[in-house]
């Protein structure tokens, strides 16, 4: 039932700023169940592979160095309509444009350092979840 799952990362800026607990509270408070979770750090190779779709964009180098500069929390979340509902919960890519009460509005600093990732489709949610977790780590 891939339609019921999404993948997220709490990015290095939010970890550095001490927002892990508050962000997890927002996520579980919105009705998402954590089915997999780890505290880890991406290597340059990991980040380049994860964000390969953006490799031609002008911000790619900045994105890879940001995403590798410190630890992240990676998680798979389960809820009805997970992908769309989670994108609504995190808000627009640019926190300046994110709706009030969204995670990016509350905790993000800039369009590049924007606190959280959320998968943009069911297909990518499955790919991204499998990138970080083996079957034994998903509950």
Q: Which sequence positions are flagged as catalytic?
A: 117
Please indicate if the annotation marks 4 as binding a ligand. no
Q: Is 117 a binder of ligand RTP (CB under 6 A)? A: yes
Q: Which does 43 bind (CB under 5 to 8 A by kind): Mg ion, ligand RTP, none?
A: none
Q: Draw the binding track, 91-130, toward Mg ion (x: CB under 5 A; -: no contact).
A: -----------------------------x----------
What whole-number distance in Å separates Cα of residue 64 and Cα of residue 67?
Answer: 5
Q: Which residues contact 118 (CB under 8 A, 6 or more apart)?
A: 6, 7, 8, 83, 86, 87, 89, 90
For the chain, the first-to-last Cα distance in angstroms comes to: 14
Min CB(120)–Mg ion separation in Å? 5
What whole-number distance in Å separates Cα of residue 46 and Cα of residue 56?
Answer: 17
Q: Quick one: how far is CA 31 from the chain centroid? A: 16
Total number of residues that touch Mg ion (CB under 5 A): 1
Q: Which residues bind to ligand RTP, rule: CB under 6 A? A: 54, 59, 63, 93, 111-112, 114, 117-118, 120
């Amino acid at each position: 039932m891939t339609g019921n799952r999404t993948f997220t990362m709490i990015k290095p800026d939010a970890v550095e700023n001490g927002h892990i607990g508050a962000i997890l509270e927002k996520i579980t408070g919105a009705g998402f169940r954590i089915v997999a979770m780890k505290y880890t750090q991406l290597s340059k190779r990991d980040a380049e592979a994860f964000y390969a779709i953006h490799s031609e964009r002008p911000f790619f180098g900045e994105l890879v160095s940001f995403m590798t500069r410190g630890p992240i929390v990676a998680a798979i979340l389960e809820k009805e309509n997970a992908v769309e509902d989670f994108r609504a919960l995190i808000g627009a890519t640019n926190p300046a444009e994110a709706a009030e009460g969204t995670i990016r509005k509350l905790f993000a600093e800039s369009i590049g350092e924007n606190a959280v990732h959320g998968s943009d489709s069911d297909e990518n949610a499955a790919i991204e979840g499998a990138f970080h977790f083996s079957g034994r780590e998903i509950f």
